[in-house]
Structure 1
Amino acid sequence: MKGNDVYLRRSNRRTAIRLGAVVLGMFGFGFALVPLYDVICEVTGLNGRSASLTGTSAPAVATVDTERTVIVEFVAIRNQGLDWGFSPAVTQMEVHPGRQYVTHFVASNRREDAAVGQAVPSVSPSSAARHFSKTECFCFTRQAFGPRESREMPVAFVVDPGLPPRVERITLAYTLFELKDTASGPRGQSDERGT
C-alpha cells in the first residue's frame, strides 16, 4: 500500500507541475499576443497598419513618379459620445508617389474642462498600407486640449512609388478617442508615445 501511495504522490506532483507550466505558458502567450499582432499587422499591412503608424520615420524615397497621381482621401471619425469637433482640413488630395505632402486635421474640445485625446489611424485598402508612410503625425502622441481649445494638427506623408498600379485611391482615416484619467505632459505630448 505504501508503494502505491508514493507512486500516486509522485504522479500527482508531476501532473501539478505540468499543469502549472501550461498555465504559465498560456499567461505568457497572452501577454505576447499584442506585440505579436502589431508586428504581423506591420509586416502584412493587415488592418491598415504600416510601419509608420508606430512613430518611426518613413524610409527615404529616391524618386518621384510625376507620371502617376494617386488620390488620398482623409476621413475623421469621433468616438461615439465624444464632445469634440474633428475634421480634415481637406477631404482629398491628388499626390505623386515619392513626393512628401502635408495636410492638417482640425480638432476642438467643445467642453468647459480640459481633455486629452488620441487618434488611431488606419489606411485602406490594406494592400496600400505598407506603401503609405507618415513622417509627422499628431497620432504619434496624445493631444492635450484646454477648455474650448481648437487646433490644427499636421500630417506629413509619402506614398511609395512601389504602390501597386491597380491602387488609384487611398483612404487615411483617424478615429479620435478621449483618454480619461491620464496624466498628460505639455500640450500635445505625453510621457508615452501613442500607437
Structure 2
Amino acid sequence: MARASHNRKMLLKLAVVAAGMFSFGYAMIPLYRHICEITGINILALGEKEVPGGSTARGNSQVDTSRSITVEFDANAHGPWTFKPATNQLKVHPGELTTVMYEFQNVQDRTMSAQAIPSYAPRQAAAHFNKIECFCFNQYTLAPGEKKQWPVVFVIDPKLPKDVTTITLSYTFFEVGSKTPAAPQAAAPVGKGTVG
C-alpha cells in the first residue's frame, strides 16, 4: 500500500516535470524572438517584420535612398579560365546590402588552383566599398572543366563622397603558383562615374 502511494506520487512528480519541460520548450521560440527584438541581436527576428507591403515593415536606417550609385562589374582572367559576373552593372543605394554572383570555369585539361585580386575605380571608392563576403578572400581548386559560382556581398558606405556616382569593381583571376599579376589599373569611364 505504501509502495503504491509512493509510486503515485512519483508518477505525479514526473508528469509535472514533463508538462513543465514541454511548456518551457513551447515558450522558448516566442521568448527567444522577444529577447532578440529587444536587444537587436538577431537579424532574422528583425527581418521577419520587413515583409514588403507589410504595415510593420521597418527600413534599414543606414540606407541612403536619396542617392543611387552605379556599380560596374569587370572580370579579367590570366590563363585559360572562363570568368564573368552574372550582371555587368547594378544601381544600389549607399548602405544597401547587395549580392552579385560570379561564374568561374576551368577550361583546361588539368586541375588548377586560382585566386582573384580586386581593384576599384575611382581609387577613393576603395575605402567605402565594404565586402562582407567575397571569393577573393580564398584560393580555389577547380578540376578540369569544373564550373562554380561564388558571391560577392557588399555594402557601399553612405559616407562615400557625393561626387562619386559610379564605382567599377574589377577582379583579376589568376593561377596560384604562377606569377601573380598586378592588380589592374581600372579607370572610371569617360562621361560616367565621377565628377571633379
TM-score of the aligned structures, taking structure 2 as reference length:
0.59
TM superposition outliers: structure 1 runs of 4+ over 3 Å: none
Distance, in Å, in 2 between the alignment partners of 1:180 and 1:121 is: 18
Q: Secondary structure at the match of 2:87?
A: coil
> Tell me, which stretches of 5 or more residues in structure 2 are unaligned?
1-59, 179-196
CA apart distance, 1:112: 1.5
- In structure 2, the CA distance between the partners of 1:171 and 1:113, relative to structure 1 (3 Å rule), is same
In structure 1, the partner of 2:168 is 171
Structure 2 residue 182 is the aligned partner of structure 1 residue 180: no
Deviations 1:57-99 (A, max 9, x none): xxxx9610011100000000112xx111011110000001001
**Percent identical:** 43
Distance, in Å, in 2 between the alignment partners of 1:180 and 1:162 is: 38
Give the superposed CA RMSD.
1.4
In structure 2, the partner of 1:31 is none
Report the residue type matching 1:98 in the other structure: G
Structure 2 residue 64 is the aligned partner of structure 1 residue 76: no
Distance, in Å, in 1 between the alignment partners of 2:140 and 2:165 is: 32
In structure 1, the partner of 2:113 is 116
Correspondent of 1:106 among 100, 103, 113: 103
Distance, in Å, in 1 between the alignment partners of 2:81 and 2:170 is: 17
In structure 2, the partner of 1:66 is 65
Distance, in Å, in 2 between the alignment partners of 1:84 and 1:131 is: 30
Following superposition of structure 1 onto structure 2, how do residues 1-195 of structure 1 map, counting pairs within 5 Å? Answer: 63-79=62-78, 82-180=79-177
Distance, in Å, in 2 between the alignment partners of 1:127 and 1:113 is: 39
Q: Which has the larger radius of gyration?
A: 2
> Tell me, which stretches of 5 or more residues in structure 1 are unaligned?
1-60, 182-195
TM-score of the aligned structures, taking structure 1 as reference length:
0.59
